[in-house]
């Protein structure tokens, strides 16, 4: 039997909504045993509209594959004691509670390290667990996109700001949490000590600004909204065609020569105004206008074939149905199927491909599906003990 990269690593996943569950799912995909610790009522996303399979929302399904579920009332004395028993047997406690909540629940690093000196505690919050300016307010991806400056840069110049199509504040912080946990596991292998990993959504999203932020910090020029265009490179944006939009990138002069040849304007490749990246940057409006005019002469599919033949970076602006049927994606098993309750559920696959990892997908767990097994195996409880706890509503 193949041993995956994180086989043997055990994670207690206390998270809900998006950021935490997404990152914990990545750990599960890499082989960790991820135990989703839910309240008696369960993760609220199980009820998110509008699509459901086998009683749970597809929102929930999209973020919880390859996990197990145990339902415990952590606010009860017995429930918390059970949790601490599990802490003794795991490597990571993972959460995305609002700042201050985990301390009230007594599941923060300072609380759990008493039961397991090697524990790694990863917390994802909006602004950090020790930010002196955080007034303990709830926050979500849209709020962080707004505060980070991302929302202010996204959209067309003459239109209102536009939310990113995917919640990068959530997803990015989930990935940063994974990076932190992997680094902490590596460090523990050398020192034997665990540590606290503190990830703020705002920090993570701002870090993704890269050159845009550095441009501002060193020039004082506040970046404006430029749609799909690039601040420094021309052409680098989407263009209309007779059918759907097409994305075209000309980062180097070699690409520009090929673009001109495909468009039937070879003279523009040697024109002093456009033949260099600097010239195209200075004459952006003329370049974009001419390319838009020429690209309207044919369908996107025809242009993609011609540009790809000429090795020009390009791609159709696919709607979701075409994107998820893209042969380049399907060839890498990025759409998978699992069975639950007699229903087939289609999910996205793991984007991290490793030669030593076997890609196996299990359906997202029902609420408390693994409670008995986990408490028996990891807390040493017998069937009668478990039944009594269930009667007392400590577990579900």
So which residues are the catalytic ones? Answer: 170
| CA count, 13 A, side-chain hemisphere, 138 | 3
CB 375 within 8 A of CB 24: no
Asked if 294 contacts 265 with a C-beta cutoff of 8 angstroms, the reply is yes
The backbone region for 171, taken as left when phi is positive above 0, alpha when psi lies in -120 to 50, beta otherwise, is alpha
In the chain, the N- to C-terminal Cα span, in Å, equals 33
- In order, the DSSP letters of 292-333 are HHHHTTS-HHHHHHHHHHTT--EEE---HHHHTT-HHHHTTT
Q: Which secondary-structure segment (H or E) carries 202?
A: helix 201-207
β-bridge partners, 395: 72
DSSP code for 395: B
With the C-alpha atoms ordered 341, 344, 347, 351, is the resulting torsion angle positive or negative?
Answer: positive
Element (H, E) at 278: helix 277-282
Task: Report the distance separating Cα 251 and Cα 357, nearest Å.
Answer: 35
Task: Identify which of 168, 180, 65 has the alpha carbon closest to the alpha carbon of residue 123.
Answer: 180
> Which residues, listed in sequence order, are joined to residue 335 by a DSSP beta bridge?
348
Token pair belonging to 177: 């949490």
Do you find a cis peptide bond into 235, omega within 30 degrees of 0? yes
Beta-carbon contacts of 278 under 8 Å, excluding residues fewer than 6 positions away, are none
What number of CA atoms fall less than 13 Å from residue 181's CA on the CB side? 31
Distance, in Å, from the CA atom of 247 to the CA atom of 68, rounded to the nearest integer, reads: 41
């Amino acid at each position: 039997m193949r041993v995956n990269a994180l086989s043997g690593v055990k994670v207690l996943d206390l998270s809900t909504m998006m950021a935490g569950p997404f990152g914990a799912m990545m750990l599960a995909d890499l082989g960790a045993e991820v135990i989703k610790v839910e309240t008696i009522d369960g993760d609220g996303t199980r009820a998110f509209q509008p699509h459901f399979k086998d009683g749970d929302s597809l929102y929930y399904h999209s973020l919880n594959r390859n996990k197990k579920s145990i339902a415990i009332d952590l606010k009860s004395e017995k429930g918390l004691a059970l949790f601490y028993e599990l802490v003794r047997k795991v490597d990571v406690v993972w959460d995305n509670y609002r700042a201050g909540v985990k301390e009230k629940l007594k599941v923060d690093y300072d609380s759990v390290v008493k039961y397991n000196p090697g524990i790694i505690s990863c917390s994802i919050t909006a602004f950090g667990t020790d930010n002196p300016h955080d007034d303990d307010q709830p926050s979500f991806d849209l709020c962080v996109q707004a505060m980070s400056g991302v929302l202010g840069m996204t959209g067309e110049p003459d239109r209102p700001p536009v939310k990113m199509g995917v919640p990068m504040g959530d997803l990015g912080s989930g990935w940063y949490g994974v990076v932190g946990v992997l680094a902490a596991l590596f460090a523990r292998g050398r020192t034997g000590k665990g540590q606290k990993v503190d990830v703020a959504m705002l920090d993570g999203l701002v870090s993704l600004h890269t050159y845009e932020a550095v441009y501002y910090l060193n020039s004082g020029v506040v970046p404006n909204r430029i749609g799909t265009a690039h601040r420094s490179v021309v052409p680098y944006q989407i263009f209309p065609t007779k059918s759907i939009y097409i994305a075209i990138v000309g980062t180097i002069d070699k690409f520009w020569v090929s673009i001109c040849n495909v468009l039937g304007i070879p003279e523009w490749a040697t024109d002093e105004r456009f033949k260099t990246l600097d010239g195209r940057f200075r004459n952006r409006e003329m370049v974009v206008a001419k390319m838009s005019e020429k690209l309207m002469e044919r369908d996107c599919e025809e242009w993609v074939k011609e540009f790809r033949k000429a090795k020009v970076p390009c791609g159709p602006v696919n709607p979701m149905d075409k994107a998820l049927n893209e042969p380049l994606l399907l060839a890498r098993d990025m759409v998978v199927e699992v069975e639950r309750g007699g229903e087939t559920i289609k999910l996205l696959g793991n984007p991290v491909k490793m030669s030593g990892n076997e890609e196996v997908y299990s359906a997202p767990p029902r609420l408390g599906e693994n409670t008995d097994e986990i408490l028996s195996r990891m807390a040493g409880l017998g069937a009668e003990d478990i039944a009594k706890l269930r009667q007392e509503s400590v577990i579900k």
